Amino acid sequence: MPERGGGVARERRLDAREVGEIFTAFAEAMRELPPDVEAGWLDAQGDLRLAPDIARKLRTARRVRQLLLELRQRSREG
């Protein structure tokens, strides 16, 4: 996925705190949805799959976007 400024995104390992921050932001975004919305499913291997609309909502949730931006900036600085 290209980054702004023409650079190419690169993979980056996240520590438990960073992943926890992202999951917390996802949980906050999920709480905004009505409880009966079909949000995803478990596939045959038991992996969680998010419904496309839910995945899009999570990617665009303000707090999630802010966290991901902060993580990208930290990666550039350090």
Residue with tokens 């993979």: 11
Per-residue pLDDT tens listing for the chain (78 residues): 444 445 556 787 889 998 898 889 888 888 888 989 999 999 999 999 989 988 888 878 888 888 888 888 888 886
pLDDT at 49: 93
Record the pTM.
0.61
Domain segments of the chain as ranges: 16-77
Burial (0-12, 13-18, 19+ Cβ within 10 Å), 41: exposed
The reported pLDDT for the residue numbered 7 is 57
Q: Tell me the two tokens of residue 6.
A: 């023409």
pLDDT at 1: 41
Q: Please report the pLDDT score of residue 14 as a whole number.
A: 87
> What sign does the CA torsion over 22, 27, 28, 29 have?
positive
